[in-house]
Each structure stands twice: as C-alpha cells, then as structure tokens.
Structure 1
C-alpha cells in the first residue's frame, strides 16, 4: 500500500481533534491501525504540516551518502588530467573504481569519458609498409630466452617510435620501456632513420645506470642497424613478427600514455626537452596494479640500488 498522503494527514489531524481512536481512523482511511499509530508518532500534538515535513526530511536522508566531497572531486580531476586511469586513482585514494566511473557517468565529476587515457577500443592499424621490408633482420622473438619473457630482470627493453603528422613533419620520438619495471624513457629524433635511432640509443646506453641486456623491436627499417650494439655493448636485439604489436605489449601501452600528452598530429620538433622530461616523470610516478601499486620509478630505483650493492 502507498504511503500516507498529505490530504490524509489533514484528515488525521481533524480526526485527532474529534478524539477518534486509531482503529476508527484506520477504518475511515482504509489503512491498518499500525500505519495510523506510526503516523501519529511523527509529532505531538499531531499536525499535518509538521508530519509532512518529517516525512520529507526522512526521505531525503534515505540512501547511501556520497563520499564525493569538493576536495576529493578536485583531487580526482587533477589526476585524471595527468592521464591517471580511474583504477589507479581508486587505489590511491582508497575508493572503488566503479564509484569514480559512476561519478563520471552522472556528471558529478566534470571530465569527459572520451578523454580518459584508456577510453575505447583501439582501431585496427592500416598495414605498415615498413614491415614488408627486413624480413630477415636478425634474431626472432621466438629465440628470446625465458629470463626476458618472464620479466625477471631490469634491462630488457621494448623499443618503438612515435611519429608526428605524416607528410608534414619528420620529427619523431624513440620510446623505450623496461619490461620488468615498466619504466619509460624517450628521445626526440629529427627523423625516423637508422642514423637517428642509433644516435639516440648511443645516448641512452651512455646515460642509463644499469646494464641493458636486450631490445625487442618491430621490423621497421629504422631498426635495421642495431647489430652493432650487440658487438659494442653486448645488447641482443629480438625482432617481433610482422604486424604483431602485442609482442611489444608494454611499449604499445606506454606509447598510448604518451599519446595522451602528445596526440596524433603533434609536431615533435616543437616539444622541448624539459617538457618531454616532465611528461615522462609524470608517467613513471604513476602507481600500477601490475607492479603491486608501486610506480615504475620506484621499481627501477630499487632494482638499480640492489645491483649497485
């Protein structure tokens, strides 16, 4: 049966003035005596207006109270703008991931779902003509040893390039992701060529504080000159199968993180070294579930410290 209406409350107030019993009121209103008794307990003496106000107050208090304070909302917004996924934000602030998505869906947090760092499915790439060359560059990924496949050590990197607007800019980024720590680094390239890639890789090997054991790359022509690094530095190179970006899954994921800051069409010659470094630090200081909620920076630093002892 529906709740007592305001018009019924006016009648109950009149019945009280006439000193009718609860049973008589119940019969006149076709309600149970228990309902009348509960209604009369709302206020003493009974007044329809006060009883209605009590009903509305209690109804407003029903339901779970939101945790979304103004301060928390701003914290979540700040981290979303730094490209943190909702799952990482939820762990950082002891929230449920679903709660953040609910607040986004209901407009309680003003941030478009389309701008989340991992929103939507990736579109299938058009055939990369570069992969049609270099079918016998060197060691296949099938020959990669278990120590690399199982991510047991620091120093096994996946490497790729990110390009600017095709046909309008030659500048690109060379990206490297450590398989164990997921530590990301990148170098600007004036062009996507063997010489530019080798020059940036020389710089990386000279500045990286730990041993670099291997590189896993695709079959792009810019990676056709890596054999010299095995002779000079002992760095083994493994080439993925053609059209198989999932074989460099970590690199692909972190390239998407970079694309959040530098969308397709970005002219990388206009990105300063300071800006790129700041972006990389923001990405590397984000806690990841796969690292038991440590950051890539923490895992890399811890392992390098152990190796130096």
Structure 2
C-alpha cells in the first residue's frame, strides 16, 4: 500500500489550500488518486478538520511505532522465553504481553505454544510448566451436590452492581483449596479489581479455621474493603461473624455458578500450578506458601495491561491507573 513521504504531505497541504482538486493533486505528486483519499481519511483527527502536514506525519509515525514487528525466534529470544516460562511460571500469553510492555523482542504466544509442543514431541518437559499442561477442562457437574448449605446467606443477586464493574478496590472473593486426601486446606482471598491474592494455610476447611484466618488476614484493611463473595461451602458458615468484624457485606454465589467468582477460580488454578492436586499440604510450609503467593502477585495479568497485581495496587492515584488502563481497552 503506497504511503506519502513527509515532503509529499507538506505539498498536499499546500495544494489543498490553493484549492486544487484531489485528482489533480494525485497527478502532481505522482501517486494514485486512492492514495490521496486514504491519506486524508487516515491522517486527520476529524473528517471536518483541515489537512495539516505536520499532524498527518505525526499520526503516520505513531501508527508505525505501534505496528507489531516481525521478531525471529533467535537463541536469545528463546532463552528469554525459557527463563520466563520455567523460573517465573509465566504463560505464553503473559510472556508475550510482558515483553511488549517492557519493550523486549518476543515472538507471538502462538509461536511459543508451537515451540513448547515441538519440545514435547521430542521428549522435552517444557509443557510441564504450562498451567494445565495441555489438559482439557473437566466439568464439575453435580459432584458437590451434597455440600452443606449455609444459613442466613445473602445472595449475589443482592450485591451492589458496582462490584460487577471492577471499578474499585476492596471487593473480594474467597475460597478454599483442599489438599490430597481431603487433608489440610489453603484459604485464598483476592481483590476483584487488582487480582491481588492473600493466602493462609489451615489445618482443615472447618468453618472455625476459615473464619479466624479470614478476619486475621483482612483486619489490617478494615475500612478499605467493601464486600466478599464466596461459594456455598459449609466452611463459610461463619460469614456473619466475618462481616461484623470487618464491617463489610458477605454474599454467596449461586450454586454451580463458578464464573460468578471467576477471578478466584482463576487464581486457584494458578496456585495449583505450584501445588498440584496430588501433593500433600503437610509438605507446604507457611513460609513456602508466602513465597508462592508473592510470585503469583508479581505475575503479569492481561486485563491489567500485563502489569502485575502488586504493580496495580501501587498506583495510589486511581486516575493515573485508569488512564494507564485505557491503553489496553
């Protein structure tokens, strides 16, 4: 597709000011008439604006700088991708997005998947570092149909609409991850907006342990948090005590509607990347769980423009954060 040069843009501006017709200008500049019409359509802020050669050149250079460039999968690029995959537990999409944010050369996430699957065919182990290792999702179905029902629940249908918009910090989701053989549990709490995660190792998922741990974790944030949403597990029977101690509202998702706590489900999946289902929690120390939680909180997230939750929380000026996020919509 033919593009005008910087000099041709200044001549185009002068010819237009002189009242020359667009077809005549095309002949004078030695380009097809469609090039002139395309230039006028693409390089003005509004269709009604006068054509300005300086502004047109600026728009052209801006598009050029934002254009994705072909990157060869060199040994250096591969080594960088391998480090981020293995040492940082980033997904191919996170590797690609984070490198783009930082200005590092990186191939597309599709190319990274091709590289990983080729390695698997050659008896390599890179696929073990993928979050699901290529496994397909299993439907939960009604396997939890006999779970206990919690009294005095407030349905998610009564939750303020602002929570769905993820426009403020302090709207949380909560769940428990159970160890091998139903022994031991890990409490997971996350902020819906920033994706920041808190965890605690528990002796079991009994309501008394969950209630105490939740209050201890969140008490320092009292006054800054607004709501918590959980599933209907009996471990949240102490929801009224939690709500009273923290001065918040506690809501329950509809049964078998895991997507209503989608952020928490996603984070539990990331946690399982570090602690597989066949691992007994007795081997996971509190210190190791802190390390894992920290690593998860510094992993880039696509919906945060490939910033990490820790970086997103660091934006004290929320207007600045919103302005930053506008780039990625």
TM over 0.5: yes
Match of 1:80 among 80, 85, 101: 85
**How far, CA to CA, are the matches of 2:221 and 2:314 in structure 1?**
12
Aligned runs of 1:57-96 on 2, under 5 Å? Answer: 67-81=72-86, 82-94=88-100, 95=106, 96=108
In the alignment, which residue of structure 2 is the partner of 1:202? 215
Change (3 A) 1:274 1:145: same
In the alignment, which residue of structure 1 is the partner of 2:131? 117
Aligned runs of 1:274-289 on 2, under 5 Å? Answer: 274-289=287-302
Match of 2:154 among 133, 136, 139: 139
Change (3 A) 1:216 1:131: farther
In the alignment, which residue of structure 2 is the partner of 1:155? 170
Aligned runs of 1:157-196 on 2, under 5 Å? Answer: 157-167=172-182, 169=183, 171-196=184-209
Stretch moving more, 279-288 or 92-101: 92-101
In the alignment, which residue of structure 2 is the partner of 1:297? 310
In the alignment, which residue of structure 1 is the partner of 2:109? 97
* Paired residue secondary structure (2:80): helix
Question: Which structure 1 segments of 5+ residues have no match?
Answer: 1-64
**How far, CA to CA, are the matches of 1:237 and 1:106 in structure 2?**
47
Larger radius of gyration between Structure 1 and Structure 2: 1
* Residue 135 of structure 1: how far off its partner (Å): 5.8
**How far, CA to CA, are the matches of 2:146 and 2:80 in structure 1?**
43
Stretch moving more, 185-194 or 228-237: 228-237
In the alignment, which residue of structure 2 is the partner of 1:227? 240
Question: Is the contact made by 2:150 and 2:236 (CA closer than 8 Å) also made in structure 1?
Answer: no
Question: Which structure 2 segments of 5+ residues have no match?
Answer: 1-69, 101-105, 320-329
Change (3 A) 1:137 1:191: same
CA-atom RMSD in angstroms: 2.5
Question: Is the contact made by 1:140 and 1:238 (CA closer than 8 Å) also made in structure 2?
Answer: yes
* Residue 280 of structure 1: how far off its partner (Å): 1.2
* Residue 206 of structure 1: how far off its partner (Å): 2.6
List per-residue Cα deviations over 1:171-197 (Å, max 9, x = no partner).
110001110001111110111111100
Change (3 A) 1:70 1:150: same
**How far, CA to CA, are the matches of 1:210 and 1:87 in structure 2?**
36
Change (3 A) 1:305 1:207: farther
Change (3 A) 1:249 1:160: same
* Paired residue secondary structure (1:84): coil
Q: TM-score, normalising length from structure 2?
A: 0.67
